[in-house]
Amino acid sequence: MSTITLKDACKSWGSTQALTNINFKCENGKLLVLLGPSGCGKSTTLRLIAGLDTPTSGIVEIGGRDVSNLPPVKRNISMVFQNYALFPHLSVEENILFGLKARKVPKNEQKKRLENAADLLGLSNLLDRKPAQLSGGQRQRVALGRSIVAQVSVCLMDEPLSNLDAKLRQEMRQEIRALQQRLKMTMIYVTHDQVEAMTIADRIILMKDGVIEQHGTPEDLYNRPATAFTGSFIGNPPMNILTPDIEFMEEFSSMLPPGSTPSYLVGIRPENIVISKKSGLKSSVLAIEYLGADSLLQCQSGEQAITVTVKGKTEISKGDHLKLNWESKHIHLFDGKNGKRIIDSARGVTP
Amino acid sequence: MKFWKPGTGRAIETIGAWMLGGVWLLPVLFAFWSAFHPAQFSTSFELFAPLTMDNFVRAWSYAPFPRYLLNTFVLVTLILAAQFVLCTLAAYGFARFEFYGKNVVFALVLLQLMIMPEVLLVENYRTISILGLLDTIPAIGLPYMASAFGIFLLRQSFKTIPKELVEAAQVEGVSAVGILWKVYVPLARSTYIAYGLVSVSYHWNNFLWPLVITSSVNSRPLTVGLAIFGAPESGVDWSIITAATVMTMAPLLVAFILFQRQFVQSFMHSGIK
Amino acid sequence: MKTKFKLGYWNHVNGWLLVLPAVFMISLFTHFPIASNLFHSLFSMGTVTRPATFIGMENYVFLMDDDIFWKVLTNNLIYSMCTVPLSIAMALGMALLINRNIKGRSLVRMSFFTPTVLPMIAVANIWLFFYTPEYGLFDQVFSVFGGDSHNWLGNPDTALYCLIVMVIWKESGFFMVFYLAALQQLSPELKEAGLVEGSGKWYYFRRVTFPLLMPTTLFVTVNAVVNSFKLVDHLVIMTKGGPDNASSLLLYYIYENAFSFWDTSYAATLTVVLVLILAIITIFQFIVVEKRIHYQ
């Protein structure tokens, strides 16, 4: 069993607090994504699990065992690094076998595992090459190979696809997901790309400034963002976060939950906004971006910028005045002070 | 992995580094100790032995150290100035122009990296004497003024300058000389500093060639002056010799301590090919 | 880089004009003396009354029979074989020691590097005193352990090794700098991958760090070998090659012949040998550099 648990893990360097009270559990055989903007602490969290850094306080458990003070090698993990960390002077084969040789795994066992991994990753005819002679995708596979032959059940991935181009990234993430499920690995995967996170994860932890903003399934994060930050981070284009003024409140009181005050933040996704003939938030179109299947309208209402998604090519042109409307079930209400989601008693929705 | 006891292995290494560092500094510290204390303390260590400047005063009076210092200073400046001019021109030629025989000439230039002028001191002495420059400061510097090392470093540095910058300047109508002066030289500034420091320390410390080519106080640099002063047959007191030694190395040492990072980086820079 | 500069013709002229001053100076003090050295080695020593005459290979025949030459050459080989690997090993060790965040790192680095910026002459003066019988540091340390006084530099068995120890002290810090530069260019990710993969310190050093430092080691080795042939300043101060040529090196023997015995034609002959040795090192370097694997 290789459930990974962090209990009140904190990490600080001098006076800078990198992580504050990180608590989560990643169940055996699941793929958990640590997501967040750069500097949010996601990589640091991964390094605590790997043992490349030790927590200032708190506990890291792998498979129920406290590993907080164990070196990486004793944690039974493998890791894929952002720049692959392939040894430039060693061939693909030697790179893959590096750890097995270090751990003195018997020769025939090494050979078996190498063949397996090479088969699985389509590296069989590249074994003699040096990393410099490989494409980005191939290097990525070698890095994966190194973690497969280790035959450990925990695999940590630090932005493994960030050096690949868009098309390859999509292929590789499917491959990684398939591999993870096939080998039943417990995987923790760090990325800053919310699309990658949404498509690959069983569960996502969204982090910001060293704390966990939200921990849930991809659907949770999309449908019930726990904070305004989550709302605007997940989804493309990002959720509109509006600061309602008094005028707005008067006009939309019917569309807001009872008791709303201007200290709220109103979140509404661009794809949930409809253009209405009759009533709605008055706004003017500043720019139109045509994306093929959709068009994005960049609108302005008073001080607020609002993005609206419409299907296909639109008749609307720059400078038009529109009335924007939406169904109340699509509204996400956040506390204006701390950005936290507000329990919507009217709809019985809890964040 | 036993070494991963948080702290212990690391502490042992740290202490090891300090001890080695201490041992390494010992000879220099000793020289300073001996130079600033009366003669009887150069062989016995007493923490509170009286400090004195007497050794310096006497060394100063026994030999014309100010003159030696001036000679070294003139020498180093002369060499550096000539090197900058000659090496810049040549490096520019090698980096930017295609001409017949370029590769062969460049290879011939690089030969000087391996066979330095001091190796050929017999013949170079002959050449200098034919030129009638024996026992002059320019004679000490002459063989080093065109430096393969400098040409090589600057050429490498010039080659990394993006072509777009040069082309942009060309579009603006800047001449070839203007491009050298306004684009290449400013952008290679760090290489000039690095090379300058390496060159100054080399020639401040150089000895064998100046020894054979100089024969009077008028041209002798510090190193040669010190060697003659410190020769056992001169019969001078040990602590006075250390005072003279400290004087010889102090200017460079002080510069090094003040600009430590710059020095170390320059030497690094000059080694990365 | 084939940048057209107006006319191809001007390219050639300008290129040549730019490199000419430096090339002329270098030829005058490197290539010309190599040739003229070879030439002079074929002549007898000229005196005021008797001009130098062509004697063919006679100087070389003399050289083959010159016991001192063989002695000096052997010394130089021992000297190189000791100073080069030891100072490189020392340099690598130092670089590894301070290539991490330890307390007082820059102070330690400074003390390692300090000997590099000192004149060899000053260094020789200081160490001369260390080796002084009875009063010197070494004898004082030995006497604490009940050792006798030694005439370190006056004893043919120890003189050369005394110089070797000093040169290692002087040069290690210099070579360390290149290792430090190279180590800093190694990605920390590799180190971490090594940790995760379970490689111990020694295993990682042997399989990753050392091979990746190979280009630096080569560069430093060539430098160190060349230095061991061209730097003899300390001999002038410390031993004058003695006792009985026990610590003499090739270039010092050349210097002695030329400027003490004024036998310039024999000095020229010896110089030919030295140039040959340096040429062999150069050729070796080129061959290895050509073969060098380009990792990136």
Q: Express each pLDDT in C218-274 by its tens digit.
A: 889 988 999 999 999 999 888 888 788 889 999 999 999 999 888 888 999 999 999
pLDDT > 70: what percent of chain A? 92
Section A193-215 average pLDDT: 93
Chain C contacts in chain B segment 50-79 (CB below 8 A)? none
The rounded distance, in Å, linking the Cα atoms of A190 and A160 is 8
pLDDT at residue A343, as a whole number: 61
Q: How far is C65 from chain B (nearest CA, A)?
A: 22
8 Å CB contact of B6 and A69: yes
The per-residue pLDDT for B170 is 85
**Nearest CB to C121; choose among B102, B163, B227:** B227
Can you tell me the mean pLDDT for B95-112?
89
Q: Note the residue count of chain B.
A: 273
Q: Which chains does chain B touch, 3 or more C-beta pairs < 8 A?
A: A, C
User: Please, what is the Cα angle at A318 between A313 and A320, to 5 degrees?
Assistant: 100
All partners of chain A with 3 or more CB pairs under 8 angstroms: B, C
Contact between C196 and A99 using a beta-carbon 8 Å cutoff: yes
Query: How close A57 comes to chain C (CA, Å)?
Result: 22
Q: How close is the nearest chain A Cα to the Cα of B34, in Å?
A: 43
Could you give the C-alpha distances from B237 to B35, B58, B229, C233, in angstroms and in order?
11, 10, 10, 22
- With cut-offs at 50, 70 and 90, classify the pLDDT of residue A138: very high
CA C143 to each of CA B26, B37, B249, C51, C148: distance values in angstroms, whole numbers, following the listed order: 19, 23, 31, 57, 6
CB-CB neighbors (< 8 A) of C214 in chain A: 89
Nearest CA in chain A to B4: A71
Q: For C36, which of B123, B148, B249 is closest by C-beta distance?
A: B123
Q: Which of B122, B124, B126, B201 to mutate to test the interface with C (most CBs of C within 10 A)?
A: B122
Q: Is B4–A54 a contact, with Cβ atoms under 8 angstroms apart? A: no
pLDDT band at B2 (very low <50, low <70, confident <90, very high): very low
Range from A214-218, B89-93, B179-183 carrying the lowest mean pLDDT: B179-183
String of DSSP letters for C273-296: HHHHHHHHHHHHHHHHHHH-----
> Is the CB of residue A35 less than 8 Å from the CB of residue A206?
yes
pLDDT band at residue A162, thresholds of 50, 70 and 90? confident
Instruction: Show residues of chain B in contact with A54, CB under 8 Å.
Output: 6
Q: Do B108 and C26 touch (CB under 8 A)?
A: yes
d(C-alpha B251, C-alpha B269), whole Å: 23
> What is the structure's pLDDT at A251?
63
> What is the enclosing helix (H) or strand (E) of A60?
strand A57-62
pLDDT under 70: residue ranges of chain C: 1-7, 48, 134, 290-296
DSSP state of A278: S
Instruction: Judge contact between C189 and A82, C-beta under 8 A.
Output: yes
pLDDT in tens, C244-256: 888 999 999 999 9
Residue C295's pLDDT is: 47
Across the interface, do B112 and C5 touch by the CB < 8 Å criterion? no
pLDDT value at residue B259: 83
Contacts of A74 in chain B (CB under 8 A): 1
> Do C169 and B264 make contact, defined as CB atoms within 8 angstroms?
no
Rg of chain A on CA atoms, in Å: 24
Query: Chain centroid to CA A127: how far?
Result: 33
pLDDT band at B44 (very low <50, low <70, confident <90, very high): low
pLDDT score at B45? 66
State the complex-level ipTM: 0.87
- pLDDT for C125 equals 87
How high is the pLDDT of residue C13? 86
pLDDT at B267 over 90: no
Q: Is the Cβ–Cβ distance between B230 and B236 less than 8 Å?
A: yes
Q: Does B194 touch chain C (CB under 8 A)?
A: no
Using a CB–CB cutoff of 8 Å, tell me whether B7 touches chain A.
no
Provide mean pLDDT across the span A67-92.
Answer: 91
Question: Which candidate from B34, B120, B257 shows the least CB-CB separation from C33?
Answer: B120
Evaluate the CA torsion angle C273, C275, C281, C282 in order and state its sign: negative
Predicted pLDDT at B214: 92
B4 near A CB under 8 A: yes
CB spacing of C122 vs B117 below 8 angstroms: no
Mutate to test the interface with B, among C39, C100, C120, C125 (most CBs of B within 10 A): C125
Query: DSSP class of residue B47?
Result: T
| pLDDT tens sequence across B213-259 | 999 989 999 999 988 887 666 666 788 888 888 988 888 888 888 88
Instruction: Identify residues of A whose CB sits under 8 angstroms from chain C CBs.
Output: 50-52, 71-73, 77-79, 81-83, 85, 87-90, 98-99, 102-103, 130, 132, 146, 150
* Alpha-carbon gap: B2 to the closest alpha carbon of chain A (Å): 10
From C170, C91, C116, select the one nearest B260 (Cα to Cα): C116
Put simply, the chain C residues between 65 and 104 with a CB less than 8 A from any chain B CB are 94, 97-98, 100, 102-104
Do B1 and A69 make contact, defined as CB atoms within 8 angstroms?
no
d(CA A335, CA A228): 8
How would residue A260 be classed by pLDDT, with cut points 50, 70 and 90? low
At which residue do the structure tokens 């001890």 appear? B19
What is the average per-residue pLDDT within A325-338? Answer: 82
Distance from the Cα of B8 to chain A's closest Cα (Å) equals 14
Interval B74-87 mean pLDDT: 95
Backbone angles phi, psi at C187, to 5 degrees: -70, 135
Is it true that the peptide bond before B66 is cis, omega within 30 degrees of 0?
Answer: no
Mutate to test the interface with C, among B97, B151, B241 (most CBs of C within 10 A): B97
Phi (first) and psi of residue B18, to 5 degrees: -60, -45
Please report residues of B whose CB lies closer than 8 A to that of C14.
Answer: 93, 97, 99, 176
**What are the angstrom distances between the C-alpha of A29 and each of A6, B69, B122, C144?**
17, 76, 79, 68
Closest approach of B252 to chain C, Cα-based (Å): 7
Q: Using a CB–CB cutoff of 8 Å, tell me whether C141 touches chain A.
A: no
Please give the residue of chain C at the shortest CA–CA distance from B207. Answer: C233
CA distance to partner chain A, nearest, from residue B250 (Å): 39
Is B6 an 8 Å CB contact of chain A? yes
Round to whole Å and give the CA distance between B63 and A177. 81
- Tokens found for residue A38: 């750069």
A8: phi then psi, degrees, rounded to nearest 5: 50, 40
Mean pLDDT of all residues belonging to chain A = 87
Could you give phi then psi for residue C174, rounded to 5 degrees?
Answer: -65, -50
CA distance B155 to chain A (A): 27
Query: What is the spatial distance between Cα C137 and Cα C131, in angstroms, rounded to a whole number?
Result: 7
Structure tokens at C59: 């100087």
Task: Label residue B264 by pLDDT band (50, 70, 90).
Answer: confident
Q: Give the distance from residue A53's alpha carbon to the nearest chain B alpha carbon, in angstroms.
A: 11
Q: Mean pLDDT for chain B? A: 86
